[in-house]
Amino acid sequence: MAKRLHDEYGHDGDQPDDKRMRRLPSFSTVIREAMMQKHMQHLFRCIEPILRRVVQEELQAGLMQSPRYIERSPPATPPAERPAWKLAFRTPPNLPIFTGSKIEDEAGNPLDIVLVDADTGASPAAPPPALRVELVPLVGDFPPDGREDWSPEEFQKGVMKEREGKRPLLTGEVALTMRDGRATVSELQFTDNSSWVRCRKFRIGVRVALGSYDGSRIQEAMTDAFVVRDHRGELYRKHYPPHLVDDVWRLEKIGKEGAFHRKLRQNNVVSVQEFVRMLMVKPDELRAILGEGMTDRMWEVTTNHAKTCVDRDDKVYVYGTPHGTIYVDSVFKLVRVEIGGVEWPLQQLRGQAQVIVQQLMLEAYENRHSLQEAEAFMLPGHGHAANNVPLLQNAAHVALPAPGEAQLWYPNAPEIEFPVDDVVPPIPQPNNFGYQWPGQVFHMTG
């Protein structure tokens, strides 16, 4: 009896036995809820700046539409004074530009600065007798929005400062006196490359030195934007235009000690001159040497660059056989042809004469290192060939018709009577030859 009363006293009659104790959450549930809370806090931190910016923009837009805001807004900045004169670079600088290297124009001459009329671009009738100007480095993306006019204050903001601990960015003759509207920059170079600025480019600007002139405004000048490279890259720079004596790797798409360079060197094409010579006479063979790695686009870029050589000399070389005599320049461009003792106009070469010239060009190319130089009067406009001009071989003249009389060969035409010793043997048509005679034009392909 006492035991039953004790049990009833400790028992809550309102709750069943299995729900009397409060259930505790599982460990996985606690972890999941904690992770969820952490993610939400991170999300709020991320979207808070966005919400602030959106609210700020909306408030600003609303204020700008308010009449009271419009009344209190500052007046617009007045436009810059229209200049009567402006500075200008006569020719652009030669590219590429390397640190520490002298900056010259495209012709290899010092940069020229001139004073011109702002409206007409002509030289002013009465320029200031002495005008102090200064050259400054500019950031490549100046002026903003690509405008062609700017204020002196905007120009000043575009001036670049050197990096901390570095020398002045532009050194040399940065301060000049312009006399009679012209000044020459004999020495100018960059001391740092342009890889650290946001647009990766610089400009060269020139302006009237502050405090040296009190007349009407003279607008500043600047060059196009360009990349300034580290001087270490100058060891591998290409030449524009290339020189005949340059190593062949100075041409575009041919890297120093690269695959193309090694292939050309193995075939004795070590200079730009040898490359151009082979291009003129045996373009297909040259293309085969470079191999499939040289794409059509790369081939076009390389050959076009090679053709820009401008330092060819005036020397003419002569090669003669019993079948004819040809005269070529230093890159094997055909200058003059004699067949059968008669000078043939280049535009009239066709038929058998064309085949003879092709064969002579191939033979002359194979013997190019022993060609003899012709006299200056052998060039067109210097008279006809003299009998004492040195040849590789003594050419026996072939009795062929004069160029104005008849074709060298016609289908089904009777054979021409030649002396037995002077008969021209049949010459096979070469497969790889760089000449074409379309219509009345004679030129060299490649």
Q: What is the DSSP string of 352-390?
A: HHHHHHHHHHHHHHHTGGGPEEPPGGGSTTS-SPPTT--
pLDDT one-digit tens code per residue, 267-283: 999 999 999 999 999 99
The Cβ-side half-sphere exposure at 302, using a 13 Å CA radius, reads: 23
CB 162 within 8 A of CB 77: no
Place of tokens 């670049």: 160
Listed in sequence order, the residues at least 6 apart from 4 whose beta carbon sits closer than 8 Å to its beta carbon are none
Select from 293, 320, 311 the least CA-distant residue to 385: 320
CB 326 within 8 A of CB 318: yes
d(CA 383, CA 329) in angstroms, rounded, equals 17
pLDDT one-digit tens code per residue, 50-89: 777 777 777 777 766 665 544 454 454 455 567 889 999 9
The Cβ-side half-sphere exposure at 300, using a 13 Å CA radius, reads: 3
The pLDDT assigned to 144 comes to 79
Q: How confident is the model at residue 407 (pLDDT cuts 50, 70, 90)?
A: very low
Return the amino acid letter for 157: K
The pLDDT assigned to 374 comes to 80
For all residues of the chain together, what is the average pLDDT? 77
Please give the C-alpha separations between residue 188 and each of 104, 107, 136, 440, in angstroms, as whole numbers. Answer: 8, 16, 11, 50
What is the separation of C-alpha 254 from the centre of its chain, rounded to a whole number of angstroms?
15
Count of positions (residues) in the chain: 446
Average pLDDT of span 157-163: 93
Q: Has this prediction a pTM greater than 0.75? A: no
How would you classify residue 165: left for phi > 0, otherwise alpha for psi between -120 and 50, otherwise beta? Answer: left
d(CA 338, CA 220) in angstroms, rounded, equals 60
Q: Look at 169 and 356; give whichever has higher pLDDT.
A: 169
Listed in sequence order, the residues at least 6 apart from 231 whose beta carbon sits closer than 8 Å to its beta carbon are 98, 99, 100, 101
At 354, list the tokens.
């064309």
At 57, list the tokens.
């923009």
The pLDDT assigned to 429 comes to 41
CA dihedral defined by 208, 210, 216, 220, rounded to 10 degrees?
40
CB 235 within 8 A of CB 255: no
Q: Look at 286 and 393; give whichever has higher pLDDT.
A: 286
CB 437 within 8 A of CB 349: yes
pLDDT one-digit tens code per residue, 300-330: 999 999 999 876 677 889 998 888 899 998 8
Q: What percent of the chain has pLDDT over 70?
A: 73
Domain edges within the chain: 85-232, 238-306, 317-444
Angle formed by the axes of helices 272-281 and 352-366, to 10°?
Answer: 150
The pLDDT assigned to 344 comes to 84
Q: Look at 379 and 158; give whichever has higher pLDDT.
A: 158
User: What superfamily in CATH does domain 85-232 come from?
Assistant: Velvet domain (2.60.40.3960)
The pLDDT assigned to 65 comes to 65
Supply the DSSP symbol for 226: B
Whether residue 96 is preceded by a cis peptide bond, meaning omega within 30 degrees of 0, is yes
